């Protein structure tokens, strides 16, 4: 299903961030007019980041219980409802999938994939387990992501937990102008903070990153996207 091929935006944004951090000097020396787009000094307003995160929380809190449970982010269950959706419901579904992928999909925690799929614990995969392996691994990664947010371990994520990664924004804002620049964001050790700040700019530019490939050619430096791609190409070289 095409929704499952959507790249998690936070991972993509973080990769772009580190490409900038590692190769800024090289880009400047190469003649690319990076600073014409004023990338490092631009950033995101703290209040906008909080508002955006809260709206994402409300989107995922389907039962309006002021908390997000696993049932509300389980993509495997959601997929079964797609055939009966109308166009408006499909658009809402797409928004939810992207939010879930970017916020809850955990790609960093290591685990034994075989054991996760082998639900009956007999040491082999039967046909049903094999056919459902993708959904099971996906659900397991989402469960790990939810547990990462769920600091009080009550099985649900409340708004204060969902937005807790933004608590350091005022500390990052060294000039106290209410905006965290990309340069200031790089000082954070929290990938979610860096991702949120970068993606805020991308959203403002109305860029759909999933539509592009990292290998896409950059004809010029006239747009922020083209600069991003050019820098990533240099990183690969």
pLDDT tens figures, 189-201: 888 888 888 887 5
Write out the chain's pLDDT in tens, 237 residues: 333 333 444 444 444 444 444 444 554 455 445 444 566 778 889 999 999 999 999 999 999 999 999 999 998 878 878 888 899 989 999 999 999 998 999 998 999 999 999 999 999 999 999 999 999 999 999 999 999 999 999 999 999 999 999 999 999 999 899 999 988 988 998 888 888 888 875 554 443 333 333 334 333 333 433 443 444 444 444
Q: CA 128, CA 150: separation in Å to the nearest integer?
A: 31
Is 24:228 a contact under the CB 8 Å cutoff? no
Q: Looking at residue 209, what is its pLDDT? A: 37
Cα–Cα distances in angstroms (integers) from residue 34 to residues 4, 30, 204, 215, in the given order:
33, 10, 19, 19
Cα–Cα distances in angstroms (integers) from residue 230 to residues 47, 81, 185, in the given order:
31, 40, 21
- Classify strands 67-68 and 157-158 as parallel, antiparallel or unpaired: antiparallel
DSSP code of 7?
A: P
Q: Is 103 exposed, middle or buried (0-12, 13-18, 19+ CB in 10 A)?
A: buried
């Amino acid at each position: 299903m095409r929704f499952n091929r959507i790249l998690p935006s936070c991972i993509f944004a973080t990769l772009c961030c580190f490409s900038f951090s590692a190769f800024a000097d090289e880009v400047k020396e190469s003649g690319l007019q990076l600073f014409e787009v004023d990338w490092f000094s631009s950033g995101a307003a703290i209040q906008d980041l909080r508002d955006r995160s809260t709206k994402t929380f409300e989107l995922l809190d389907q039962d309006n219980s002021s908390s997000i449970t696993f049932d509300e982010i389980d993509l495997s269950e959601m997929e079964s409802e797609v055939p009966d959706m109308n166009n408006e419901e499909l658009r809402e579904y797409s928004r939810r999938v992207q939010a879930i992928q970017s916020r809850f999909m955990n790609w960093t925690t290591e685990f034994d994939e075989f054991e996760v799929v082998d639900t009956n614990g007999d040491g082999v995969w039967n046909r049903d387990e094999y056919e459902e392996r993708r959904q099971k691994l996906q659900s397991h990664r989402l469960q790990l992501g939810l547990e990462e947010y769920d600091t009080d371990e009550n099985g649900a994520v409340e708004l204060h937990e969902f937005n807790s990664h933004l608590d350091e924004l005022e500390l990052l804002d060294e000039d106290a102008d209410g905006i965290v620049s990309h340069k200031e964001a790089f000082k954070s050790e929290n990938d979610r903070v860096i991702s949120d700040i970068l993606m805020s700019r991308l959203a403002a530019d109305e860029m759909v990153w999933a539509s592009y490939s990292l290998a896409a050619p950059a004809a010029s430096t006239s747009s922020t996207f083209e600069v991003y791609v050019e820098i990533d190409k240099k990183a690969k070289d």
